């Protein structure tokens, strides 16, 4: 088995180091210190021990040394998180469960494919946004569901979907930085042409309508601006669905052509069989001043 797909002894040891409540508390307290003072986050050992709430200096020092160099750095002014320590805290606070279920909730906007209301729902760690026939799916961490309105949740989740999908289109897994293989699956008559990407290292996989890839390409953003679509808020959701429902032409086996249209203009993308963008043709009719 290739080394990149197996767990080294060192990785196993480091994961085992995290299986202790005191050590996780140390990382969380150091993260609080980073939040309070990002430019000077280090804490002395006695201060850190007091904040974690451990009375015995010997026991605390043992746990701290177990984390040293990997998850915690010792500096002249005390202890601070390493970048890997920050990653661990991020994983812990993002939540390791699936989060609460959200029943279908209307967002007050209509589907660009069929004019039915767009709804948001969440179950089993996946968010679904759209109508019954045209929708986007995105796995999310429970932390995203906290203290967000349905509108904010939808816009933030779709932005995350677009960023992660673009990273995979460019061959880099947003979860593990491993290599992603990309393909376009052609129409079998019942399902739309889709973009698919899989990470060689962690198995992260996405399947999206091809036009979703194009929602935040520069030419699309220019068309959205000319069409008075505000991509910083909820309109990003309907703009992305507009891409998702855009028809795909396949003039040859290695060419896929997608056109996103508004009343103001259109932008046509030509992509190869690996979703590389070969050509962009844009036509925008700007309003003539009186
Ligand atoms: Zn629809
Ligand atoms: Zn990966």
Domain ranges of the chain: 7-94, 102-284
Q: What is the pLDDT of residues 191-202, one digit of tens each?
A: 678 999 999 999
Distance 179 CA to ligand 2 centre (A): 7
Structure tokens at 79: 């202890």
Q: For 181-223, write each residue's pLDDT tens digit.
A: 999 987 666 667 899 999 999 999 999 999 999 999 999 999 9
116 Cα–ligand 1 center, Å = 6
Averaged pLDDT score across all residues of the chain: 91
Spatial contact of 289 and 269, defined as CB atoms under 8 Å apart = no
Q: How many whole angstroms separate alpha carbon 222 and alpha carbon 40? A: 41
Distance 126 CA to ligand 2 centre (A): 18
User: Of the ligands numbered here, which is closest to the C-alpha atom of 118?
Assistant: 1
Core vs surface per residue 77-109: b (16+ CB within 10 A) or e: ebbbbbeebbebbeeeeebeebbeebeebebee
Q: Which of 127, 28, 36 is nearest to 81 (CA)?
A: 28
Q: Which ligand has an atom closest to residue 245 CA?
A: 1
Which residues neighbour 37 within 8 Å (Cβ) at sequence distance 6 or greater? none
For residue 107, is pLDDT > 50?
A: yes
Ligand 2 centroid to 138 CA: how many Å?
16
Distance (Å, whole) CA 271 – CA 182: 12
Instruction: Quote the CA–CA distance of 97 and 203 in Å, as a whole number.
Output: 19
Q: How far is the CA of 162 from the centre of ligand 1 (A)?
A: 19
Give the residues across from 209 on adjacent strands.
194
- pTM, entire model: 0.85
Half-sphere exposure for 280 (CA within 13 Å, toward CB): 14
* Ligand lying nearest the CA atom of residue 244: 1
Report how far residue 72's alpha carbon sits from residue 95's, in angstroms, rounded to the nearest whole number: 21
- Domain 7-94 falls in which CATH fold? Arc Repressor Mutant, subunit A (1.10.10)
Give the number of the ligand closest to the Cα of residue 4.
2
Whose atoms come closest to the Cα of 179: which ligand?
2
Residue 286 — pLDDT band, cuts 50, 70, 90?
Answer: low
Element (H, E) at 36: helix 21-36
User: What whole-number distance in Å separates Cα of residue 171 and Cα of residue 199?
Assistant: 8
Alpha helices in the chain (DSSP H): 9-17, 21-36, 45-52, 57-67, 83-94, 150-169, 218-226, 235-245
Range in 5-9, 193-197, 241-245, 275-279 the model is least confident about: 5-9
Distance 168 CA to ligand 2 centre (A): 9
Cα 132 to middle of ligand 1, angstroms: 7
Distance 244 CA to ligand 1 centre (A): 10
CA neighbor of 236 nearest in space, from 127, 161, 144, 134: 161
Ligand lying nearest the CA atom of residue 114: 1
* Ligand number, closest to the Cα atom of 109: 1
What's the gap in Å between 134 CA and the centre of ligand 1?
4
User: Using CB atoms within 10 A of its CB, is residue 57 exposed (0-12), middle (13-18) or buried (19+)?
Assistant: exposed
- Which ligand is the nearest neighbour of the Cα of 204? 2
CA angle 85, 61, 43 (to 5 degrees): 55
Phi, psi dihedral angles at 263 (to 5 degrees): -70, -15
Residue 235, classed as helix, strand or coil, is helix
The partner residues of 126 in beta bridges, in order of sequence, read 123, 139
Ligand 2 geometric centre to CA of 177 (Å): 6
For ligand 1, the distance from its centroid to the CA atom of residue 123, given in whole angstroms, is 20
**Distance of CA 172 from the midpoint of ligand 2 (Å):** 8
Of 75, 94, 73, 74, nearest in space to 84 by CA: 73
Longest dimension (CA), the chain: 80
Residue 1: per-residue pLDDT? 36
Cα 265 to ligand 1 centre (Å): 22
Task: Provide the pLDDT for residue 247.
Answer: 87
């Amino acid at each position: 088995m290739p080394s990149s797909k197996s767990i080294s002894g060192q990785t196993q040891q480091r994961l085992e180091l995290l299986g202790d409540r005191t050590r996780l508390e140390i990382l969380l307290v150091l993260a609080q210190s980073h939040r309070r003072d990002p430019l000077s986050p280090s804490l002395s050992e006695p201060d850190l021990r007091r904040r974690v709430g451990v009375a015995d200096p010997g026991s605390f020092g043992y746990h701290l040394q177990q984390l040293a160099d990997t998850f915690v750095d010792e500096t002249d002014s005390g202890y601070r998180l390493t970048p890997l320590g920050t990653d661990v805290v991020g994983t812990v606070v993002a939540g390791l469960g699936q989060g609460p279920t959200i029943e279908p909730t209307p967002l007050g906007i209509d589907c660009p494919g069929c004019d039915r209301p767009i709804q948001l729902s969440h179950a089993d760690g996946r968010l679904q946004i759209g109508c019954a026939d045209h929708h986007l799916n995105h796995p999310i961490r429970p932390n995203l569901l906290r203290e967000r309105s349905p509108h904010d949740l939808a816009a933030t989740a779709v932005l995350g979907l677009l960023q992660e999908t673009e990273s995979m289109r460019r061959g880099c897994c947003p979860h593990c930085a491993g290599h992603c293989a990309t393909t376009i699956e052609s129409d079998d008559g019942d399902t739309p042409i889709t973009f698919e990407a899989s990470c060689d290292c962690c198995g992260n996989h996405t399947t999206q309508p091809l036009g979703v890839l194009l929602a935040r390409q520069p030419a699309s953003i220019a068309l959205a601006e000319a069409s008075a679509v505000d991509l910083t808020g909820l309109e990003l959701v309907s703009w992305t669905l507009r891409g998702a429902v855009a028809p795909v032409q396949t003039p040859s086996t290695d060419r896929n052509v997608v056109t996103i249209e508004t009343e103001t203009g259109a932008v046509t993308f030509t992509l190869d069989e690996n979703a590389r963008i070969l050509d962009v043709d844009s036509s925008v009719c700007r309003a003539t001043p009186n």
